[in-house]
Amino acid sequence: MLGTALHRGQLLSPAAQRACAFASALGASPVSSVLIARRSLASSVIVGMGGRNSKPQERNPSQRGDRANASTAVAAPTEPAQAYDALCERLKEISSLNGIAGLLDWDEMVMMPPGAAGSRASQKAALAGVLYDKETDPQLGALLEALKAAPGETLNEVQAAVVRDAAREYVKKTALPKELAQRVARLKSEAYAAWVKAKTESDFSVFAPFLQQWIDVSKEKAKLIDPTKPVYDVLLDDYEKGATSARLDEVFTQVREGLVPLIADIKSRGRKIDESWMAGEYDTDTQAELCRKVAIDIGFDTERGRLDVSVHPFTGGAHPTDVRMTTRFKKENVVEGLTGAIHETGHALYEQGRNLSYDGLPVNSALSMGVHESQSLLWERMVGLSQPFAEYLLPLLKERFPERFGSATPDQLYESENVIQEPSLIRVEADEVTYPLHIILRYELERGLLEGSVAVEDVPRIWNERMAAYLGAAPPNDAKGCLQDIHWSMGAFGYFPTYTLGAMYATQIYAAAEKDIPDLAHKIRGGDFKPLKSWLNSKIHSLGSLHNSGDELMAAVTGSPLDPAVFLTYLRDKYTHLYKL
Ligand SMILES: [Zn+2]
């Protein structure tokens, strides 16, 4: 996929519900979320989810070939230092080409006139073909083989990580035979169209045959990439490096068991929080100016990035020195625009913070989608939706919207920003408490589908049963149930878990920051975000993908692997206080 990835919720999502949807090469979907994509190989740039005119795209299959085993016939420098230099040269070139692709994506979503859709599609396909040839070049494979065979101490830690990540991508790029790649490309378009129709008509049977095809094709693909691993784990690796379904089971079981009773408790005993005072109209130009100020206060560097408005908010661009971030605003909801802008700023800071000592190499890109999302959610939720931030924000709101905020208190703002939605039927509209259960339900279903324990035709029934069990609400129809998300129409199995992993990483990283940075809450209250941004730059951003997994990164930064108890304690404490349980 051409590096679109997305995060943050649909254009539609209320404040607390930034979901990230996937869109990848997929172009604009009606869902309109933004994606963050890990661009293949070196230049991982985040891109948004599809432009207004874009359509599902895949690299031109006619340009794909069966090159998987070709590398053995090609000579490569045998001296490791030489081989490493030759490898880096190739990876940097691929990174630059990916940067160009990122710029084309941004242009398509922000600036391009609608009439250019056709020519842009041709340009992107041509560039994708060039990239594919570079990424699957047998010479690249030969260099990787030579370096993998080099003695253990030959490469330092960073060099070893470069070889590891490049080799991993090379295997994936070269694993699929041309015929399968062509089937995947065709299915992408057909399944997407079927999903749109099924959702419009709220008729799962229209989409079901395509979902079955995606499952079959994905199993085939996973077996070609790594027949020794469970299918789900191979697919998951595209989004969350180093994660396994066994580990997800462990983590998600704990989260589910902690959240179901908390939500029931809030529903049965929680007080009612009045947020109606914030309803009204907010001038969108004033919102844009406010969001720009907040993004810059937090640390977005306008010397190395641009802020624009787009239909689908996203963060993308060409390079860590050229990060393109977009937001959008709704007249009737000032909080949604603000939290959206803060969310994207978190993604943008990660991109701007990439380590330029390793420019163009895979080790300087994001570790995973989950870790990327941890950076957006840390700023959005741990900072932006906190009480100290409300104290920073309220005077800015009073200044711009005195009629609505003139007599408000920081506590009132804080409480109203953190209302739990009820009923929670739609993922991208879900709040931070109910959101993880939406993800767990999808994870259980997609894994069951791939392992054979869930049949396609049973998806609507199981979906509705689990919604009732986990969230106490059953959807009125499939459009608002199992057809609501775009992901499965794109065959993106393994994407969903990264949203909740990101939320958990964010909580654990923030807890570590609070220990390291004296008076962090006080600093946030005063609008001094620099200590936190610098801390994240050095602890997370500059490390890139050096570590093998999110768990390893958590251990390095916080002292222990991902611990769901930290996330559960944060939610329980926050909402016990807010809802006076
Ligand atoms: Zn996001």
Please give the pLDDT value at position 41. 26
Backbone angles phi, psi at 440, to 5 degrees: -60, -40
Q: How far is the CA of 19 from the centre of ligand 1 (A)?
A: 6
Q: Where are the domains of the chain?
A: 60-228
Please provide residue 327's backbone torsions phi and psi, each rounded to the nearest 5 degrees.
Answer: -135, 175
**pTM reported for the whole predicted model:** 0.90
For residue 370, how far is its CA from the centre of ligand 1 (angstroms)? 9
For residues 194 and 191, give the distance between their C-alpha atoms in angstroms, rounded to a whole number. Answer: 5
What pLDDT, in 10s, does the model give residues 290-338? 999 999 999 999 999 999 998 888 999 999 999 999 999 999 999 999 9
* pLDDT: which is higher, 52 or 443: 443
Pairing of strands 305-309, 322-327: parallel
Q: What is the tens place of the pLDDT at every residue in 59-95?
A: 444 444 444 444 445 677 778 999 999 999 999 999 9
**pLDDT tens track for 416-464:** 999 998 888 999 989 999 999 999 999 999 999 999 999 999 999 999 9
Over the stretch 7-35, which tens digit does the pLDDT of each residue have? 333 222 222 223 343 333 233 332 223 33
Tell me, in angstroms, the distance from the centre of ligand 1 to residue 35's CA: 7
Report the C-alpha gap between 259 and 265 in whole angstroms. Answer: 10
What whole-number distance in Å separates Cα of residue 59 and Cα of residue 53? Answer: 17
Closest CA to 380 of 411, 422, 341: 341
* d(CA 376, ligand 1 centre) in Å: 6
| Cβ within 8 Å of residue 268, ≥6 positions away | none
Establish how many alpha carbons lie within 13 A of residue 6's alpha carbon, considering only the half-sphere containing its beta carbon.
Answer: 39
| pLDDT, tens only, 222-253 | 999 999 999 999 999 999 999 999 999 999 99
Measure CA 404 to chain center.
34
Separation of CA 368 and ligand 1 centre (Å): 12
The pLDDT score that the predictor gives to residue 14 is 27
What band does 105 get if pLDDT is binned at 50, 70 and 90?
Answer: very high
Q: How far apart are CA 22 and CA 312, in angstroms?
A: 12
Residues 362 and 45 sit within 8 Å (Cβ to Cβ): no
Helices (H), 136-203: 138-148, 157-175, 178-201
Tokens 């080790």 correspond to 363
Would you name the residues annotated as active-site residues? 344
Q: How far is the CA of 423 from the centre of ligand 1 (A)?
A: 23
Beta bridge partners, 315, equal 325
The span from the CA of 363 to the CA of 380, in Å, is 26
Nearest-angstrom CA–CA distance, 192 and 504: 31
For residue 27, the model assigns a pLDDT of: 31
Residue-wise pLDDT for 276-289, tens only, equals 999 999 999 999 99
Q: Rounded to the nearest whole angstrom, what is the distance from the C-alpha of residue 5 to the centroid of ligand 1?
A: 9
Predicted confidence at residue 447, as pLDDT, reads: 98
Residue 91 CA, chain-centre distance (Å), reads: 23
**Token representation of residue 128:** 């994708």
**What's the 148 CA to ligand 1 centre distance in angstroms?**
34
Residue 64 Cα, ligand 1 centroid: separation in angstroms? 31
Q: Inter-axis angle of helices 80-110 and 138-148, to 10 degrees?
A: 130
- Between CA 328 and CA 336 the distance in angstroms is 9
